[in-house]
Amino acid sequence: MASASKQYLNGIHKKFSFLATWFPNACIKLGDVGIQEGDQFKQMTTLDNLGVSFRVRGGTSPLDFAYTSESGVAVQTKAAGELSPGTSLPLAEAGIHIQFSSAGAFLFQAAGCIVDEIDDKDSLGKTVLLLARQGRWDENWAVVDTVVRAASATIVVSNSNAGSLDLTAKGPVSLANLASLDAGITVSSQSGDVVRFIAAKDLMPMFRLSRIKRSLFQQILGGPITFGGPGAEPAPVNEDEDNPLEEVSPE
């Protein structure tokens, strides 16, 4: 069975077509270059270090992302003064009870998200392809070309087959405001192995990676790679190079 973090990555990608950052507070930036190994992106260098400049297309309209895994998680909300059997939520406080019944089940809420991306990805792809021809780009490298910045996020992932989390709030709480900084959400109790980020500020919870198409790289490796500067002859590539990059998926 896939690890809990891998199931989380697969679930987020299936829903939003983004890679999930693991851990959710990992530092990932536009132009980072590295390797996706399992559930983690390992930064090796940057486009800047490789002498590649790029423009950023910054998002301007914040949006919210919300998703609960298709199985293994149940959510129960409670108003102040309301009884909530089976939980440790105090009678006088509003709260939410999250029950997990399988490893890899998760709850994801990200508020005030801005999507930033590298502009002119076609030019970026051709530049990266040239670096590969010159022997300056590793076959397994990929570049972070899109990031999602969240003003605040609540992300809970169960690492065990049974677990629970009780959260209390200053006022009425629901799935819609679970990531809100103004809700004053705190952890009341926890059972099982649960990774949690509760109303955490300034996370980068999702991103996209692009790499050179495998077929193109194999042609480059099979040809005479040059290491010269201006005027050096690149390795011959017969495939159409209009779009040399492909998106990296969790698989």
In the structure, what pLDDT confidence band is assigned to residue 223 with cuts at 50, 70 and 90? low
The helix, strand and coil proportions of the chain, stated in percent and rounded to the nearest 5, come to 15, 40, 45
In 3D space, the residue among 222, 221, 220, 216 whose CA is nearest the CA of residue 240 turns out to be 216
Contact 28, 35 (CB under 8 A): no
Per the prediction, the chain carries an average pLDDT of 88
Q: How do residues 113-134 score in pLDDT, each as one tens digit?
A: 999 999 999 999 999 999 999 9
In the structure, what pLDDT confidence band is assigned to residue 227 with cuts at 50, 70 and 90? very low
Alpha-carbon separation of residue 232 from 127, 134, 138, 153 (angstroms): 15, 9, 19, 49
Phi, psi values for residue 130, rounded to 5°: -65, -40
CA distance 165 to 111: 20
Q: Mean pLDDT across the stretch 194-200? A: 94
Q: Mean pLDDT across the stretch 80-100? A: 86
Q: How do residues 13-66 score in pLDDT, each as one tens digit?
A: 999 999 999 999 999 999 999 999 988 999 999 999 999 999 999 999 999 999
- 238 pLDDT above the threshold of 60: no
Question: Which tokens belong to 143?
Answer: 């570049």
Alpha-carbon separation of residue 176 from 52, 206, 221 (angstroms): 41, 19, 50
Q: For the whole prediction, is pTM greater than 0.75?
A: yes
